[in-house]
Amino acid sequence: MKFPGSKLLHQWDLSVQRLSLDDLFSSCREAGLTGLAEVKFPDAVGLIFYYLGGEVNALYREGAMAYNGQSALDRLRTRVTGEVGTISVFELPLDMAHLLRGITNRQKLKETLRNGSDLVELLRRLEKSEHTGTLEVQTSDGSAMVLIVRGRASNVYWETTGGLTFEKGEARQKLEESLGQQQEAEVPLFLGEFSRDVWKNRHEVQVAVRSRLERRDEVRDRPTEEIASEESVLRAQVLDELTTQLPGLIQAFIFDLMTGSIYLRKGRGATDIHVGPLADLVPELAISLRDQMATADESDPLDFIELSTEKLSILVTIVDEAQEAIAVVADRSQPTALIAAALIRAVHGYAVRLHPARRKV
């Protein structure tokens, strides 16, 4: 499994230096790793994906058998105690790491690519099926990783055999040029799916973080933990401001539009306990409505949702720049027009203060 743009941080030869899986976990967590640990044996290979130092996914393949999640870690734990194998730790770009933490069902496709037109046709089919995941293309000149979100190619990485990495449009161009030079050579293709269930069942990462699938070159070398800290502080500031501005606010929270995961929430008093279960339904509802709107009319995307009961108002606004949303549950005693105005201001302020790694290019 090749990940263009990855950076080798450390490598252990198990025949020279014994290392347990717990030792590996500890090392990656202390480093705040965003990337992966690759464990290779003569007859098997395992991958442990990390996001901000926490294990968020694992894959293990031995012969025709493939395992995912906790079962993959269990098998790796028994194999690492042997005396043959290598462990390599890689740092990955933030957007790639975000998607890989939920990747499952990685399969080699039966078909191959002969030129750029074949690539366009394959991506068109994935768009029609609204695929979310990864497409890996391996040629004799290098390898490419295409990140796909709801059928759209979000980003492309290309790494030459010499280790030079390209991104986005330039990477797409390099890939198509390489495909045109392959002639009749077989080009291996691997397709992975993003599983929300895998994400929900992940080991919890203690630092809340969200990285946009777009990022700028000038921040490529920023430490992941530094960006994570800035994002956590910014989310807290946004919710504090809403709490101050809205006397009728019962609960406010920020959630990820890819996974539905709630990054941070703040509430007031005992009433918050009763509205919690209702608030927990909001992310999945918002994601479902947004996906259906995008399918029905791409020119009219969903950006605001308002729901109400006899006692409560629920308002949700999309932060498109971060692929997140901010939600407010408030008492009906406060006019929804005032809540909506405060919420829209909060979203605009959040977008302006986003770290450049997460703003739209």
- Please name each of the domains of the chain with its CATH number: 7-200 (no CATH), 217-358 (3.30.450.30)
Q: What is the pLDDT of residues 292-327, one digit of tens each?
A: 776 666 667 788 999 988 889 999 999 887 778 999
pLDDT number for residue 279: 86
Average pLDDT for residues 224-252, to the nearest whole number? 83
User: Within 10 Å of residue 277's Cβ, how many Cβ atoms?
Assistant: 8
C-alpha 119/C-alpha 65 separation (Å) is 29
C-alpha 98/C-alpha 36 separation (Å) is 12
Residues 188, 248 contacting (CB under 8 angstroms): no
Q: Which residues pair with 314 in a beta bridge?
A: 307, 329
Is the pLDDT at 175 greater than 80, yes or no? yes
Average pLDDT for residues 180-185, to the nearest whole number? 71
C-alpha 129/C-alpha 138 separation (Å) is 23
Is the pLDDT at 208 greater than 50, yes or no? no
Average pLDDT for residues 329-347, to the nearest whole number? 90
Average pLDDT for residues 80-108, to the nearest whole number? 77
pLDDT number for residue 249: 92
Give residue 358's identity as a one-letter amino acid code.
R
Confidence bin at 260 (pLDDT 50/70/90): confident
Cβ burial of 345 (10 Å; 0-12, 13-18, 19+) is middle
Give CA angle at 316 (315, 322), nearest 5°. 160
Is the pLDDT at 73 greater than 70, yes or no? yes
Of 353 and 281, the structure prediction assigns the larger pLDDT to 281
Average pLDDT for residues 233-251, to the nearest whole number? 91
Closest CA to 168 of 136, 142, 145: 145
Of 171 and 94, the structure prediction assigns the larger pLDDT to 171
Lowest mean pLDDT: which of 133-137, 306-310, 356-360? Answer: 356-360
Q: What share of the chain has pLDDT > 90, as a percent?
A: 14
pLDDT number for residue 2: 64
Write down the mean pLDDT value for the chain.
79
Confidence bin at 240 (pLDDT 50/70/90): very high
Residues 57, 101 contacting (CB under 8 angstroms): yes
Task: Kindly report the pTM of this predicted structure.
Answer: 0.49
C-alpha 52/C-alpha 27 separation (Å) is 12
Is the pLDDT at 15 greater than 50, yes or no? yes
Rounded to an integer, what is the distance from CA 79 to the centroid of its chain?
A: 28
Is the pLDDT at 1 greater than 80, yes or no? no
Average pLDDT for residues 346-350, to the nearest whole number? 89
Lowest mean pLDDT: which of 1-10, 128-137, 276-285? Answer: 1-10
Is the pLDDT at 289 greater than 50, yes or no? yes
C-alpha 188/C-alpha 170 separation (Å) is 21
